[in-house]
Structure 1
Amino acid sequence: MTGSEEPPTFRLAYVPGVTPDKWVRIWNERLPDVPLTLTQVPAAEAGGVLLAGDADAGLVRLPVDRTALSAIPLYTETTVVVIPKDHLVTAADEVTVEDHLADEIVLHPLDDVLGWERPPGRPAFERPATTADAVELVAAGIGVLLVPLSLARLHHRKDLTYRTVTDAPGSSVALSWPEDAHTDRVEDFIGIVRGRTVNSTRGRQPAQAPRKGERTEAAPTRRKQAAGKQTGGARRGAGGTPKSGGRDGGKSGSGKGARRGRPRRG
């Protein structure tokens, strides 16, 4: 790399609620010469950011366009309902949509990430533009809000609390990148989020054992070594006498008189 070239970087996009701090720290320890830059993007725009080449990979919320993006699911978040601290629902540790929220006004922001087929409860007069706006409406006593736990913590307020909703859909977080841009740097980050060690083969397939009847590279060498032991000199009999390797089994050159048997009578 010449002095005029910029150092290589890895650009990671992430959506609100996701905290990549641990993985970033490991990256900086393992690849100190490759700066990692973070960019927070709205959940609905994450796929477009990756496809436009504005990030090398992203921590996104599923689903994504699997015809153009690869994705590795990482975890699924618990869904909670955000409510005022004096709300009746706070009497329970866990709630259900059917038993506790059916009569509530449930706010459904335009950036909702839970993917409801049909939002629960009673609809509000107007949909809030963002989750942050919906939280403000909850604080004003206008309704309640269902979100992944991380978003409830992200928008925490002292006058609000939350309870787990056991029958609501969850939100899954995944590592995603364009299918045609699976680079070595992307593979490095995959290894980090999957917990691979620094000495990992980074997903390379280990050498497979040969199938039965299949020759290996070492087999000819072993056969040559074995043959060398047999033919590396004349085979020796008892007492170190050389034996011939001919068909007569050592009889040739010994003369007729060497044959054993009963003597002929004269």
Structure 2
Amino acid sequence: MTGSEETPSFRLAYVPGVTPGKWVRIWNERLPDIPLDLVPVAAAEAPDLLRSGGADAGFVRLPIDRTDLSAIPLYTETTVVVVPKDHLVAAADEVVLGDLADDILLHPLDDTLGWERPPGRPAIERPATTEDAVELVAAGVGLLVVPQSIARLHHRKDLTYRTVTDAPESRVALSWREDATTDRVDDFIGIVRGRTVNSTRGRAGATADPKGKRAEKAKPTGKTAGKPAARSTGKTAGKNTRARSGGPAAAKRGKPRRRS
């Protein structure tokens, strides 16, 4: 895709639990003339949205089919179990899956941990969404194991969560269509990877100087060009010092004073 085919705005998709605010703020500072449009999308639908061109790039949860998508893994989330505040698990700082063996563990259809079936006792049926599963936890039907950001997203005063040390983990990545790696996509990759505004690898950095030029070292001109700079020696330095301070070298050039 050429630059002329790019959309006037940059469309960024993000799945539940991901908070893109930090990167959006940096984008707005560096590229204020190009609006960034946020596109919320369910985790299972994010890859197809990118393939269809519904977004220029997006934060997704791995694994995804990367046949025609590029992806840069960004971070791995802590996995937690969501429980009622009066549940025994709430008394511990962290648990293992074995501690949940006697509980019903809900397995929503939009589960992001990728396991075939969570341990523990299965529910009669799978909730349609994670949000529905959280409601069932609040009703005392069972417990729910999710990435920590999802637990925070669906926070309720009557629920809490604890780390599960041996549960599967969810990885978040930035993804985009391989054949649509535009200049704008490259700019956003640079922001996510932490490149500075003056980075030589980012397009935005190349024009970040308010004068429109990168800072360069002063180049020698005239007769001095291409010649090594003269280095001071001990003797020369000493002579110059005496001359400036009115020492013997300076006194010889003056006329003797007449005695009265």
Fold shared, TM-score > 0.5 on shorter chain = yes
C-alpha deviations, 1:107-155, integer Å up to 9, x for none? 0000000001431111000100000000000000000000000000000
Map 1:45-194; keep pairs closer than 5 Å: 45-98=45-98, 100-194=99-193
CA contact (8 A) 2:187 2:202 kept: no
Q: TM-score, normalised to structure 1's length?
A: 0.73
Shift of 1:64: 1.4
Gapped runs of 5+ residues in structure 2?
1-5, 204-225, 227-260
CA contact (8 A) 1:50 1:58 kept: yes
Residue 71 of structure 1 aligns with an amino acid whose one-letter code is: A
Residue 61 of structure 1 aligns with an amino acid whose one-letter code is: R
C-alpha deviations, 1:139-183, integer Å up to 9, x for none? 000000000000000000000000000000110000000011111
CA contact (8 A) 2:61 2:172 kept: yes
Q: Report the equivalent of 1:27.
A: 27
Distance 2:7 2:132 in 1: 40
Distance 1:188 1:125 in 2: 48
Shift of 1:90: 1.1
Distance 1:106 1:196 in 2: 42
CA contact (8 A) 1:114 1:171 kept: yes
Shift of 1:7: 7.6
C-alpha deviations, 1:35-89, integer Å up to 9, x for none? 0000100000000000000100000100111111000000010000000000011
Distance 1:46 1:125 in 2: 29
Distance 2:107 2:51 in 1: 28
Matched position secondary structure for 1:72: strand
Aligned length: 199
- CA 1:48 to 1:7, structure 2 compared with 1: closer, same or farther past 3 Å? closer
CA contact (8 A) 2:107 2:117 kept: no
Matched position secondary structure for 2:133: helix
- CA 1:7 to 1:114, structure 2 compared with 1: closer, same or farther past 3 Å? closer
Distance 2:172 2:97 in 1: 23
The root-mean-square deviation of aligned C-alpha atoms, in Å, is 1.5
Gapped runs of 5+ residues in structure 1?
1-5, 205-224, 226-266
Shift of 1:203: 6.1
Pick which of 141-150 and 60-69 moved more. 60-69
CA contact (8 A) 1:76 1:172 kept: yes
Distance 1:171 1:55 in 2: 22
Matched position secondary structure for 1:122: coil
Map 1:163-242; keep pairs closer than 5 Å: 163-202=162-201
- Point out the structure with max Rg over C-alpha: 1
Q: TM-score, normalised to structure 2's length?
A: 0.75
Q: Identity of aligned pairs, percent?
A: 80
Distance 1:171 1:7 in 2: 31
